[in-house]
């Protein structure tokens, strides 16, 4: 597994990370033993970056990771944690809280659930519209001084917020969706991060499964799967997006790869400062994703991929409108 520096603080991570959200019900039921086996396999393959959120499964994901790491060396793992999202006992999304007191409270619970003394990267999951980003970053910086956090990250914020946060404390990375179907960061956000020396941890590299090459119009999603309400997964939008993805098949066949591997390899090819987060929750998904790291794409192949799926060709927004309003990165 190749290593890459994330940001300018000297943090070295694997060339890809493992996003653990899907292991806690966000895409429907998951199998605990399979999830733990997938985490173990990722670590054994050289992946050291594990990404989670304290609201994934309302704490379930952190407890799952803690169990998986029980027999592993803490020093060998880079734990990235998002906080701030509020959820009700019925799973409803209730907004965001990134007040300094909430930062410290959330961190205390996370440290306990993960059974660790520190978090490598701590980040607000979204911008809290009621709290200046300077206050949130300042509170995390206090936790760095006390040894509870090592680095500060951001998630789904725009250029102005990135610059204001970086003026308070060095930011190691921005976590944001980036794939062939979601290229909004390229115009302003990615150049700003590169100017400031901030890395990108890219989630949704397979656009939540659309770019897997295995999605069908007849697929029925579980009620707990939030994609069931996603604009890209419904009606004519889904038809359009599946047709776009099918256009990658010829390119994949020529490389002896799967469509999902080509889609992941495209993200990897966009720069050494971009670390894809593979959202695998099963072993076969992880193995498929890991293989994409070995696929080299030349200029002609990259051009062919972008002709197959042109920029801004995706039908539908990334999230339901009720969630899009919380994305500072889309403003």
- The catalytic site residues sit at 56
Q: Are 111 and 76 in contact (CB under 8 A)?
A: no
């Amino acid at each position: 597994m190749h290593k890459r520096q994330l940001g300018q603080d000297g943090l070295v991570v694997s060339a890809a990370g493992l996003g653990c959200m899907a292991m806690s019900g966000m895409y429907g039921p998951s199998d605990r033993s399979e999830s733990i086996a997938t985490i173990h396999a990722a670590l054994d393959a050289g992946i050291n970056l594990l990404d989670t959120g304290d609201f994934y499964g309302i704490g379930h994901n952190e407890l799952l990771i803690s169990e998986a790491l029980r027999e592993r060396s803490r020093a060998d793992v880079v734990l990235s944690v998002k906080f701030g999202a509020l959820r009700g006992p019925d799973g409803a999304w209730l907004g965001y809280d990134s007040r300094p007191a909430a930062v410290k409270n959330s961190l205390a619970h996370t440290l306990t659930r993960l059974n660790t003394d520190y978090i490598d990267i701590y980040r607000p999951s979204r911008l809290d519209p009621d709290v200046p980003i300077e206050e949130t970053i300042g509170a995390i910086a206090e936790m760095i001084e006390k040894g509870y956090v090592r680095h500060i990250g951001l998630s789904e914020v725009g250029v102005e917020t990135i610059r204001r946060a970086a003026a308070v404390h060095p930011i190691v990375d921005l976590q944001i969706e980036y794939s062939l179907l979601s290229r909004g960061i390229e115009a302003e956000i990615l150049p700003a991060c590169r100017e400031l020396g901030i890395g990108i941890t890219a989630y949704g590299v397979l656009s939540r499964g659309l770019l897997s090459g295995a999605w069908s119009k007849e697929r029925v999603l579980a009620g707990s799967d939030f994609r069931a309400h996603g604009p890209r997964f419904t009606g004519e939008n889904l038809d359009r997006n599946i047709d776009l993805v099918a256009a990658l098949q010829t390119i994949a066949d020529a490389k002896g790869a799967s469509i999902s591997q080509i889609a992941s390899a495209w993200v990897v090819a966009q720069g050494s400062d971009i670390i894809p987060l593979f959202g695998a929750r099963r072993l076969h998904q992880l193995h498929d994703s890991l293989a994409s790291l070995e696929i080299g794409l030349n200029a002609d192949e990259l051009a062919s991929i972008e002709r197959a799926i042109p920029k801004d060709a995706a039908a539908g927004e990334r999230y339901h409108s009720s969630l899009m309003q919380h994305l500072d990165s889309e403003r």
